[in-house]
Amino acid sequence: MNEEAANADTATDLAFQESPPVALITGAAKRIGATMAKTLHSAGYRVIVHYGHSAKDANALVNSLNNIRPNSAICLQADLCKLEDITRLAEQATAPDAFSLGSNIVHALGSDSDSSVQPANRINVLINNASSFYPTPLGDISANDWQSLVGSNVQGPLFLSQALWPALKASHGCIINMVDMHIDRPLPHHTVYGLAKTALASITRSLAVEMAPEVRVNGIAPGAILWPERELEHDQKQRLLDSIPLGGLGSPEDIANTATFLILAKYITGQIIYVDGGRSLHTNASA
């Protein structure tokens, strides 16, 4: 029996409530985002799995969650670098029939769905997890790099939070932004990514003030949780591991558990929690 099934009784209890809580997680088709979706689903949440290009992974995740609890998960596609996509993502996420179309429905932006219907679906939690991450050595930074890194890490979280503010305010919900431990210690050759995550940290604090008291806004700053999808040399991996006081990589579950804590911590807002094994304290944290 897997962890999801082991928590089925708790999840079922919440599922029978008239309005079970809903979490929208961006970039949730795989890796850390998928783990957060599974964790919240096991706690009784309905989950909206946003994806950009990973349709196959998003479908597989949603189908697995709906096999555990029917009509408890959907996926929505959006390019967070496009403002019109962000607007439609918010409209579809809050549509009255968002979870009523069955387990195999994928809501693709630009489809024939009626976005003119007045929003009714509640949103309790927004996790801005989607993020582009790659090096941009000085001298080679392009406009496309800027659009991709700032779009996914700044524009997406800011404008999606704004679009969902009414729904989150109505539910007294919360927002969790995925920042990065490198907001304090610049990562070499990642200038655009670093400034984007630093901006997101500032957005987190600013929204915490502006959205209070109805909506709480916090951030998580992960360290080395999973190796990047791009291949790293063995020496690079070893230098990184040597810079972690607790030793070794963290796990996606470490991030999901921190998110769960922030959702439940009703008197915490405007804070950024580092989940990095102490790496941000190390003098070689930028290695």
Tell me: the pLDDT tens digits for 37-58?
999 999 999 999 999 999 999 9
Residue 106's pLDDT band (cuts 50, 70, 90): very low
Residue 113's pLDDT band (cuts 50, 70, 90): very low
Radius of gyration of the chain (CA): 18
Is 51 part of the annotated catalytic residue set?
no
Residue 119, pLDDT score: 40
Residue 118, pLDDT score: 42
Distance CA(196)–CA(214), nearest Å, equals 27
pLDDT digits (tens, 9 = 90+) for 121-156: 899 999 999 999 999 999 999 999 999 999 999 999
Tokens 């040597």 correspond to: 242
- Could you tell me what percentage of the chain is helix, strand and coil, using 3-state DSSP and rounding each to the nearest 5? 45, 15, 40
Q: Which fold has domain 3-281?
A: Rossmann fold (3.40.50)
pLDDT digits (tens, 9 = 90+) for 52-95: 999 999 999 999 999 999 999 999 999 999 999 999 999 999 99
Catalytic residue among 45, 51, 134, 193: 193
Residue pair 56/30 in contact by the 8 Å Cβ criterion: no
Bigger pLDDT: 233 or 262?
262
Residue 140, pLDDT score: 96
Residue 277's pLDDT band (cuts 50, 70, 90): very high
Q: Which of 152, 233, 178, 138 is nearest to 33 (CA)?
A: 178
Mean pLDDT of the 4-9 span? 45
Mean pLDDT of the chain: 87
CB-CB neighbours of 145 under 10 Å: 17
β-strand partners of 107: 76
Cα separation values, 127 from 70, 133, 166, 175, Å = 23, 18, 16, 6
Residue 247, pLDDT score: 86
Global pTM value? 0.86
Residue 258, pLDDT score: 98
pLDDT digits (tens, 9 = 90+) for 148-203: 999 999 999 999 999 999 999 999 999 999 999 999 888 999 999 999 999 999 99
Residue 87, pLDDT score: 98
